[in-house]
Amino acid sequence: MASARLLMRALLALAEEGYSFLVVPGGGPMADLVREIYSRGSLSQEAAHWMAVLAMEQYAYFLADGTGAALTREIRRPKGDSRVQVLLPYQALIEDDRGLLHNWDYTSDAVAALIAAQLSAPLIKATDVDGVILDGKVVPEVLASHMLGRVSCIDQGTIGLLCGLLKGSSIWVLNGTDAQQFTNALKKGEGGTVIKG
C-alpha cells in the first residue's frame, strides 16, 4: 500500500505516452482480515471467497482515490480519456466469476489471469519482489509446471490455470514498489520473471 499510489501515478504517466492499463486490484490487508476470520472457522469457503473479492473492490477504491485513475465495472480494454482504469471486481464477477474455484488457492492473481486471457491482453503482476526466486536468485523465465507446489508470489490456482485452461498464456512478474524501476522495466521489456504456461 505504501507505494501503490505512486505506481498508479506512474501508470497514468505511461498512459500519456500511449499505454493503457486495466488494473485488477489485489485484496491487500482487507483480504488478510477475511483470511484470518476464515482460519478461525467463522466463515464458509463460499462466504470467504466473496468477502475476499469485496476486499479487492475496497482496494480498487484506495488505488483510484486521488490518482486520476477511473473505476470501472466493465471487463474491457480502457479507451479514450480513461486509459488507466481500476476494475471493481465484485461488480464485474458477481454474475459470472469465470469459473474460479472458491478457495484460497485462487486469489486476485487468478482473477487477473482470467481477465487478461478474456481480453487477449498481457498480464503484468506488480508485487513487492523482483521476480520469482529459485535457488536464491531471481530467474528471468520459468515454466508454470515448475512452479506447481512451490510457494511464490503467484497463487497456486493461477499456476494451475497456466498449466491447464490458460496454457500458452504468461505472467510477467515485476517489482512495483519502485515506480521508476517498474516504468523502466516496462519500457525496456526486461527485468522480473516471465512465468510461461
Q: What is the CATH number of the domain that holds 112?
A: 3.40.1160.10
Residue 118 host element (H or E): helix 108-119
Residue type at position 116: A
Low-confidence ranges of the chain (pLDDT < 70): none
Long-range own/partner contacts, residues 15-21 (CB < 8 A, 24 or more apart): 15/83, 15/84, 19/83, 19/186, 20/77, 20/78, 20/79, 20/83, 20/84, 21/78, 21/83, 21/84, 21/85
Burial 12-39 (b: 16+ CB within 10 A, else e): bebbeeebbbbbbbbbbebbeebbeebe
This prediction's pTM: 0.94
What is the domain range of residue 75? 4-196
pLDDT of residue 99: 76
pLDDT of residue 97: 84
pLDDT of residue 42: 85
What's the number of domains the chain is made of?
1
pLDDT of residue 81: 78
